[in-house]
Structure 1
Amino acid sequence: MAHESISVFDMLKIGVGPSSSHTLGPWKAALMFCSLLENNYELSDVENITVLLYGSLAKTGKGHGTDIAVQMGLLGADPVTCEIDKIDFQIADIRETHMLKLADKKQIQFNPETDIEFLYSESLPYHPNALTFLAKTVFNENIAATYYSVGGGFVEQEGYKQISSKNQQLPFPVDNAGDLLHWCMKTGLSISEVVLENESSWRDESDTRKGLEHIWETMRNCIYKGCHTAGMLPGGLLVKRRASDLNKRLLKGRKYNDYGSWVASIRQGGNDFRYTIDWVSCFALAVNEENASFGRVVTAPTNGAAGVIPAVLQYFICFCDGHHPEKIIQFLLTAAEIGSIFKKGATISAAMGGCQAEIGVSSAMSAAALTECLGGTQRQAIMAAEIAMEHHLGLTCDPIGGLVQVPCIERNTMGAVKAITAAQLALQSSPDYAKVSLDTVIKTMWETAMDMNMKYKETADGGLALHIPLGLREC
């Protein structure tokens, strides 16, 4: 197998919820198709476009906003920088006028009801998350391109080798946990230090640090906004947002006016076990309620699991005196490397592996990062990742109504708590006596994914999605 180089910024991407594979991926695929048209044809000659959604993208596309995502991509909007408050207006305008400004340059006729086709019974063999764009020009030319959203916002075009950072030559190439541990032992570097050296193959270290600071700023803003936004989540399940009410109850009237004073107010409540766990849950709920509301989140490694890493990192900041820029960068570097190993050895796509591939991976990423930041050795950090994933093996993906809400939001709280527990276990253990390696767990996870019934892989055809009637409120 050829070595694949994955950057920290491949694993941690800024985007729009609710799903990295069903929203961010299709959005990026539409942008790629716009680029294909602009680079190989005259955009002014394009007359109409049809979008075909296959497999999991079709079955849960409405709930995940896949139809909205492809329209935003065709408009040329950047999911990293676009004004998310304008998305509803832009989509409503297309729906009402049946016109779309392709790549923000050429007006074409486009009716979402007929020009986006959900092919519920069709699936392409390479990956369950497939979509095809069909364009017709005024000269009767037919242009077609198929893309696969393979998880975590990664997109591959059929028939083309992915143009990305994957072939970059790194000083410390890592394909599995054994490789990572080898380089750590040989150099004496921590996991985060090995990753930082590798990142310097792509950019200056100062740029990596600035980029990670921006990643954390986005996570932090998402937590803070989610903890201060009440109401109901969109989509028809009538799920009430809980982070805001929980934030108020836990603070008991303590005053603050910004993120910094909010953290200080949280710390004033002490370190009681129940108080701490309630805050971890609150942080995770906040992120995934924002994600479910088409908010801006960091894919870590996916949108459906976007709350775990921010929640554990916020826990580290609030309750472990981790509010230091260097510690935050260390945390994110370590987490990203563990996630990349899972992507190389298994999958981070729920449509391929169930929720073990999302919540399980994010929990493992967080556990390793927290362990290193709390002073654990490289082997203890890898052990923590193994413990976290070991207790997510077989976790199915069964979103009710195809929405990233029930049980997805609460699963982020559980993944965060398991990560903290795994870190504590690893810190109090000797890896010499561990019976299971991280590479063994990753291999087992992939085999479990292959054996898992397709109805438990983000199709909303099984599990809770089948047995809970739409309209029921989450507890």
Structure 2
Amino acid sequence: MESISVFEIIKIGIGPSSSHTMGPWNAATSFINLVKREKSIVDVQEVFVEFFGSLAKTGIGHGTDIASMLGLNGENFKTINTSTIDEKVLKIKQTEIINFGGEKEIPFIYGHHLILNTSRSLDFHPNGMIFRAVFADGTEISQDYYSVGGGFIATQEKNSIEKDCVRTLYPCHHGSDITKYCEKFGFQKFSDLILVNEESWRTQEETRAEALNIWHHIKECIYKGVNKEGILPGGLNVTRRAAGINRKLLGDKIYKNKEEWFQQVADAEENFTNINKWIACFALAVNEENASFGRIITAPTNGASGVIPAVLMYSQAFTSHTSEDDIVRFLLVAGEIGTLFKKNATISAAMGGCQAEIGVSSAMAAAGLTEILGGSIGQVLMAAEIAMEHHLGLTCDPIKGLVQIPCIERNTMGAMKAITAANIALESDPSKAKVSLDEVIQTMWETALSMNDRFKETSEGGLAIAVNVPEC
């Protein structure tokens, strides 16, 4: 089994969906690279992309069409100025020209070169798509891709494309592996083991730097979210709430930048009610940014991107565990828990429902928080198990296919459950636990396989059809 770096699970992303936005964007980039390897971009006459299954059914709401056009246009979601997205997409639609790979302008007619096929699904995975390039000599290159969660893409031939297979010093594919290696080699903390394993990709200094870079982007995202008001795009007319909560909690206090804002949050009145409101505010801020094509931290997906930031911000603002080392350890542990779900179950809502997104992110956050609050290795694994146990069976039923209702509020619930799970684990004896993390991951996977497809990100069941929202 291939090892996965924590920074493939927790990484810089763009809203609104890792599976439906980042995945197709990555697939478009991969297809460009395939064309470069096999032929030449100069010889390309036309490019087609067709989306199937869940990608097609909720593609407009998730920005799947936008992501694929920008990807084919040679844009990078990690570096693109998010304020220019609407302008770039409008230009492609109006001129009916795309700059393929950023190197050659070719005709591109929306609805002809880009198709959302809602009547068919590909067998390999619900999130399927096919890219096809036609060359001047009449030949073609075609490639199927599947967005398998968290921005990861695969083909039927390869489960993870364009990545070198890495084996870490202490391969951790199950929770039991973590316990085994920590006991055998004397690692006192869960994060000590992960820090060593991450050396398969980079030095320990580089790992710490990347974790702190992730923290920088988390603060930036939350700060943007608590300072924006208005209505989210997409037609549901959902009002942004983070800014209002932030304003009520801080009163008339003025802040010039995110550091001054954070200090005022940390200095704010601390009581049970206010702290809970702040946790909700942090999660809402991130997911409101996500819903509007903002830059966020995918952890492990975009739909669940508010949980880990909310819990980490909570630890920094309202506990004494505020060092850079605490931040690094939190993210290392959270990321490693995410890899266990990725390898043994799924982090794709189209495959497993929302338990695969909010449930996994809550388990990750619970483990990270338990680690920095002084929990033992057994308690860290127990916290992750408890958090997932209470998300089992959670469906994915977004209204109109938008990552807004119920997705945004679910992040606040996932954060609260993560903190509760950590507190329970810290007061418990893991040796007396009746359910292990590995068992709950297996149960989650079995639940995913048994779940009706109507409740797997298709907008064909649950709230998506119970609530009558007129088309715009």
RMSD of aligned C-alpha atoms? 1.2
Is contact 2:153-2:161 (8 Å) kept? Answer: no
Matched letter for residue 319 of structure 1: F
Give the Cα–Cα distance (whole angstroms) in 2 for the partners of residues 321 and 405 of structure 1.
33
> What is the match of residue 52 of structure 1?
50
Please tell me whether residue 265 in structure 1 is matched to residue 234 in structure 2.
no
Matched letter for residue 74 of structure 1: L
Deviation at 1:260, TM superposition (A): 2.0
Matched letter for residue 417 of structure 2: K
Q: Report which stretch shifted further, 301-310 or 79-88.
A: 79-88
Deviation at 1:188, TM superposition (A): 2.7
Q: Report which stretch shifted further, 9-18 or 184-193.
A: 184-193
Is contact 1:238-1:471 (8 Å) kept? Answer: no
> What is the match of residue 151 of structure 1?
149
Matched letter for residue 293 of structure 2: F
> What is the match of residue 455 of structure 2?
456
Deviation at 1:163, TM superposition (A): 4.2
> What is the match of residue 168 of structure 2?
170
Deviation at 1:161, TM superposition (A): 5.8
For 1:298, what is the secondary structure of its paired residue? strand
> What is the match of residue 122 of structure 1?
120
Give the Cα–Cα distance (whole angstroms) in 2 for the partners of residues 221 and 192 of structure 1.
25
For 1:313, what is the secondary structure of its paired residue? helix
Is contact 1:5-1:165 (8 Å) kept? Answer: no
> What is the match of residue 94 of structure 1?
92
Please tell me whether residue 412 in structure 1 is matched to residue 385 in structure 2.
no
For 2:362, what is the secondary structure of its paired residue? helix
Matched letter for residue 203 of structure 1: R
> What is the match of residue 220 of structure 1?
219
For 2:321, what is the secondary structure of its paired residue? coil
Give the Cα–Cα distance (whole angstroms) in 1 for the partners of residues 81 and 258 of structure 2.
22
Unaligned segments of structure 1, at least 5 residues: none
Give the Cα–Cα distance (whole angstroms) in 1 for the partners of residues 220 and 71 of structure 2.
24
For 1:446, what is the secondary structure of its paired residue? helix
Deviation at 1:168, TM superposition (A): 1.2
Deviation at 1:114, TM superposition (A): 2.0
Is contact 1:6-1:165 (8 Å) kept? Answer: no
For 2:99, what is the secondary structure of its paired residue? strand
For 1:114, what is the secondary structure of its paired residue? coil
Tell me the alpha carbon deviations over residues 199-247 of structure 1, each in whole angstroms, 9 at most, x when there is no partner: 1111111111111111111111101100101111000000000000110
Give the Cα–Cα distance (whole angstroms) in 2 for the partners of residues 360 and 43 of structure 1.
42
> What is the match of residue 103 of structure 1?
101
Deviation at 1:138, TM superposition (A): 1.6
> What is the match of residue 83 of structure 1?
81
> What is the match of residue 327 of structure 2?
328
> What is the match of residue 139 of structure 2?
141
Give the Cα–Cα distance (whole angstroms) in 1 for the partners of residues 468 and 183 of structure 2.
53
> What is the match of residue 197 of structure 1?
196
Give the Cα–Cα distance (whole angstroms) in 2 for the partners of residues 201 and 339 of structure 1.
18
> What is the match of residue 309 of structure 1?
308
> What is the match of residue 446 of structure 2?
447
> What is the match of residue 377 of structure 1?
376
Matched letter for residue 138 of structure 2: N
Give the Cα–Cα distance (whole angstroms) in 1 for the partners of residues 329 and 175 of structure 2.
18
Deviation at 1:51, TM superposition (A): 0.7
Query: Closer, same or farther in 2 for the Cα pair 1:7/1:46, shift >3 Å?
Result: same
For 1:4, what is the secondary structure of its paired residue? coil
Is contact 1:342-1:442 (8 Å) kept? Answer: yes
For 2:167, what is the secondary structure of its paired residue? coil
> What is the match of residue 5 of structure 2?
7
Query: Closer, same or farther in 2 for the Cα pair 1:246/1:445, shift >3 Å?
Result: same
Tell me the alpha carbon deviations over residues 8-60 of structure 1, each in whole angstroms, 9 at most, x when there is no partner: 11111212110000000000000001111112112111111111101100000
Query: Closer, same or farther in 2 for the Cα pair 1:447/1:246, shift >3 Å?
Result: same
Matched letter for residue 375 of structure 1: G
Give the Cα–Cα distance (whole angstroms) in 2 for the partners of residues 450 and 195 of structure 1.
30
Matched letter for residue 275 of structure 2: T
Give the Cα–Cα distance (whole angstroms) in 2 for the partners of residues 14 and 43 of structure 1.
28
> What is the match of residue 59 of structure 2?
61
Is contact 1:33-1:145 (8 Å) kept? Answer: yes
Q: Report which stretch shifted further, 52-61 or 118-127.
A: 118-127
Give the Cα–Cα distance (whole angstroms) in 1 for the partners of residues 74 and 87 of structure 2.
15
> What is the match of residue 41 of structure 2?
43
Give the Cα–Cα distance (whole angstroms) in 2 for the partners of residues 243 and 361 of structure 1.
23
For 2:314, what is the secondary structure of its paired residue? helix
Q: Report which stretch shifted further, 321-330 or 357-366.
A: 321-330
> What is the match of residue 244 of structure 1?
243
For 2:106, what is the secondary structure of its paired residue? strand
Is contact 1:6-1:166 (8 Å) kept? Answer: no
Matched letter for residue 58 of structure 2: T
Is contact 1:236-1:471 (8 Å) kept? Answer: no
Deviation at 1:164, TM superposition (A): 5.3
Matched letter for residue 273 of structure 2: R
Tell me the alpha carbon deviations over residues 240-261 of structure 1, each in whole angstroms, 9 at most, x when there is no partner: 0000011000111123222222
Give the Cα–Cα distance (whole angstroms) in 2 for the partners of residues 383 and 418 of structure 1.
13
For 2:111, what is the secondary structure of its paired residue? helix
Give the Cα–Cα distance (whole angstroms) in 1 for the partners of residues 219 and 124 of structure 2.
36
Give the Cα–Cα distance (whole angstroms) in 1 for the partners of residues 440 and 95 of structure 2.
52
Unaligned segments of structure 2, at least 5 residues: none
Give the Cα–Cα distance (whole angstroms) in 2 for the partners of residues 219 and 116 of structure 1.
34
Tell me the alpha carbon deviations over residues 427-474 of structure 1, each in whole angstroms, 9 at most, x when there is no partner: 1111122111111100100000000000000000000001112259xx
Query: Closer, same or farther in 2 for the Cα pair 1:367/1:164, shift >3 Å?
Result: farther
> What is the match of residue 185 of structure 1?
183
Give the Cα–Cα distance (whole angstroms) in 1 for the partners of residues 28 and 164 of structure 2.
22
Give the Cα–Cα distance (whole angstroms) in 2 for the partners of residues 388 and 96 of structure 1.
48
> What is the match of residue 422 of structure 1?
421
Percentage of pairs with the same residue: 52
The TM-score normalised by the length of structure 1 is 0.97
Is contact 1:224-1:259 (8 Å) kept? Answer: yes
Give the Cα–Cα distance (whole angstroms) in 2 for the partners of residues 106 and 171 of structure 1.
44
Tell me the alpha carbon deviations over residues 165-189 of structure 1, each in whole angstroms, 9 at most, x when there is no partner: 5631211101111111111222232
